[in-house]
Amino acid sequence: MRNIKLTLAYDGTNYHGFQVQRGTGLKTIQGTLEKALSILTKEETPVIGSGRTDAGVHARGQVVNFFSNSRIPVERFPLAINSLLPSSIVVREAEEVPADFHARFSAKRKTYCYTLYNDRVMDPFWRYYAYHVPVELDGAEMSKACVLFRGKHDFRGFCASDTTVKDFVRTIYACSLAKEDKLWRFTVTGDGFLYNMVRIIGGTLLEVGQGKHPAEEITALLKKRERKAAGITLPSQGLCLLSVDYAEEYPEKVN
């Protein structure tokens, strides 16, 4: 029995999120991948994801693993699975990993990107991949706010209020804003993220950019631990899971 790790890219637009919703008939990334794998390996192969992504959320580097008795050489997996998958999901890499590798529990860090499209008129090619912001933004103030999210904080105020989680402390290793013409990309790396956390941090940054909060207020907002004090939850289509990192050490120091 081999443990196989796959790195996936997918366009989440037409999926009801990553996680299989058994018995619902809803199309999910996990369900579609499991179906392709069962055809390929002739085994029922439950797939373990690094975490869920919501409906409409995209990935460039989602990681999953599964166990298989298949004798297909691991380097042949990407092309073989891709030929059975719709073009909206692509296996970028496959590798054999130790038996105790678990896509979720072994993950050390994740990096997400949220994309804003900032222009009076929206670009139709970005409608499923960015959030349209038609007003001017103060990028310098937003970048200042990004810095204040770095480090170890209690993110209770930056999490969907209906969560069952008990521990709200997470470490943000990197948080920055990059502008390229009309696209503004906010990229954040952390040891884990609460439900809707990236989308709420993004919504708060957006409000900073619109002058609704000064950047310095971020520290106070974190201390408040109240969902309603933070910004809006940005819509799913601008969010993309860029990578999942399994290395023990983070190459850069925090802050």
- The residues that touch a second copy, with contacts defined as CB under 8 A, are 9-11, 58, 78-79, 82, 87-92, 121-125, 127, 129
Smallest gap from residue 131 Cβ to a second copy (A): 12
Smallest gap from residue 92 Cβ to a second copy (A): 6
Distance (Å) of CA 61 to CA 10, 136, 139, 166, 204: 9, 31, 27, 28, 25
Smallest gap from residue 32 Cβ to a second copy (A): 12
Is 54 a catalytic site residue? yes
Residue nearer to a second copy on the CB measure, 78 or 192: 78
Distance, CA of 241 to CA of 61 (rounded, Å):
6
Smallest gap from residue 255 Cβ to a second copy (A): 31
Given the residues 11, 54, 123, 191, select the one marked as catalytic.
54
Residues 6+ apart with CB under 8 A from 115: 126, 129, 130, 131, 183, 184, 185, 186, 238, 240
**Which stretch of DSSP H or E encloses residue 169?**
strand 169-180
Residue nearer to a second copy on the CB measure, 105 or 125: 125
**Which stretch of DSSP H or E encloses residue 115?**
strand 109-118
Per the document, the length of the chain is: 255
Task: Just list the catalytic residues.
Answer: 54
